[in-house]
Amino acid sequence: MSKAFAKSLSQLNKALIRRLNALVVTRAQPAPARPSPDGGRVATPPQLDLVDALPPSSAAGGVAVCKVEGGLLRSSSAFPYFMLVALEGGGFVRALLLLLLYPALRLLGHDRAVRAMAVVTFLGLRKDAFRAGGAALPKLLLEDVSAEVFDAAVAPPRRRCVCVSAMPRAMVQPFLVQYLGVDAVVAPEMREFRGYYLGVMEDESELLRALDVGKVIAGDKAGGGSDDDVVGGVAGLGSSFAQVFQKHCKEVYVPTESARRRWHALPRRRYPKPLIFHDGRIAFRPTPAATLAMFMWVPMGAALAVVRSATFLVLPFSLSVPLLAALGMHSRLIANPSSASKNLFACNHRSLLDPLYVAAAARRADLAAATYSISRLSEVLSPIPTFRLTRDRAADRAAMHAKLQSRGPGGGGLVVCPEGTTCREPYLLRFSPLFAELGHDVAPVALHSSVGMFHGTTAGGWKGLDPLFLLMNPVPAYIVQFLDTLKCGGDGPEAARAVANELQRRIAEALGYTCTGLTRKDKYLMLAGNEGLVDVNHGGGAKKKSPTCAT
């Protein structure tokens, strides 16, 4: 009995060693032989290195065909991308169901697992309301792009790049076309019925029959594509679209798992298009382990958010700031005594709590936050006064000037955010010059915030939950830096615009951010499909459009 057990154990040990050696040192088998024009079989060349399969375009030119999963992307699993869509598009219940199915998905192959995850993720979602593919997914996908494959297949001056993917087109096309600038995408569509996704993707054979792959590869070239048009390809996970590589690619690089682990992430500075705007609540990569940790944290995080909110509301700044630090809300102050005593503060916009952090850092309970349309509940619960603005520029200028001139009860200083909306990335939007037309010296305040689990801002979601999600983070952090006072002595719109530009430049220089000319309208048109306006009823009269965020 013991001898048989020892023999079985030895065989198991040898099998494990063979599997590990195959994973580390053995390259994937080359694609099957493809037919030749004379009816014979042409043997596929042996496995090549990436540079051999895709030589520099200056030497070979042509077209590159690249598989997204496991080829362009370094990850060996598509689960995080579907989980992000489930969280942002379907909510926590749908995401929890997908997480519970993860052990079963591990038993399936890549292609079958992708189809199963598509059912759970997309079933019942409205097609016209689905924006996760262009608003939330690009950031996650860009962070996973392989710099080596990008240089070989996608980066200029290569003439043309065609990407193929087993994931739904709605998930990958915005990222590939808008941010990487690939020329064509071959991916299945999600079936729909009366504007709702059915959770079923079209078959690969159906897609290839309806799509002339030769013309897709050739692009605008007349006469379609030929084998000479393609330099090579980069394969990836699964066997989907294998016939595309076999028929149209002379040489195919098939990366192994060990090769993918050696790849490097594409640096942000090398993105073909800067990632300035993105939406969604999730601030981490939703791997199975990370998603499980999030679900375990949510009950405790919600209770912690309530305690933190009560601390903000009840206690004065002298007590609330150290207590909140003990509760995990880290903050760092870079002081400037001459600026902290001013009455007009202008800061970049990171979250709804920006005015609170400025007031707490300045130890000024008399500061008011200049806002557009926020709920009455938010006004009641705000630890500092709120100063409501309208859409009338002249009226807002007069009201802000009167507020700054007041010395009685209700008077004091103002905190304004000239960007008009939040920006999560290290960029500054165009600053409105309204604050510079008041004739008061401005105290610039540079703000930097970081979160680890949830974003406290949204363009397409329910904004009433923004403070809750921000306070639910385990360790949210803020840096508040007061800069030298900026004098506003000139008259006229040109002088005000010059002051606004100078303020933007100073804050960007202090934070290491990049200045842009983008506005709130650009952000909402890109992320939510609207101009960032909501219907507001003033005094029971006709509804008017109002910006959805603070000024």
Tell me the per-residue pLDDT of 462-476, one tens digit each, with 9 for 90 and over. 888 888 999 999 999
Looking at per-residue pLDDT, the higher value among 407 and 357 belongs to 357
Tens-digit pLDDT profile for residues 259-296: 888 999 999 999 999 999 999 999 999 999 999 999 99
> Mean pLDDT, to the nearest integer, of 435-439?
84
Q: Could you tell me what percentage of the chain is helix, strand and coil, using 3-state DSSP and rounding each to the nearest 5?
A: 45, 15, 40
pLDDT, position 431: 94
Out of 1.10.1740, 3.30.70, 1.10.3470, 3.40.50, which CATH number does the structure's domain 50-219+229-270 have?
3.40.50
Residues constituting the chain: 551
From CA 485, how far away is CA 443, in angstroms rounded?
5
pLDDT, position 510: 95
Residue with tokens 């902290």: 340
Tens-digit pLDDT profile for residues 199-224: 999 998 888 888 877 788 777 654 55
CB burial of 58-85 (b: ≥16 within 10 Å; e: otherwise) equals eeeebbbbbbbbbbbbbbebbbbbbbbb
pLDDT, position 158: 64
Looking at per-residue pLDDT, the higher value among 327 and 338 belongs to 327
CA dihedral angle for residue 119, residue 120, residue 123, residue 124, rounded to 10 degrees? 180
**Could you give the residue range(s) of every CATH 3.40.50 domain in the chain?**
50-219+229-270
Collapsed DSSP state (helix, strand, coil) of residue 476:
coil
Say whether pLDDT at 193 is over 70.
Answer: yes
> Mean pLDDT, to the nearest integer, of 19-29?
44
Residue 66's region, left for phi above 0, alpha for psi from -120 to 50, else beta, is: beta
To 5 degrees, how large is the angle CA 240–CA 244–CA 248?
A: 160
pLDDT, position 382: 80
The predicted model scores a pTM of 0.84
- The whole-chain average pLDDT of the chain stands at 83
Radius of gyration for the chain, computed over Cα atoms and rounded to the nearest angstrom: 28
Q: What percent of the chain has pLDDT over 90?
A: 47
Q: Which two tokens stand for residue 317?
A: 């700044």
Contact 442, 345 (CB under 8 A): yes
Beta-sheet strands, E only, within 397-504:
414-416, 427-428, 443-450, 477-482
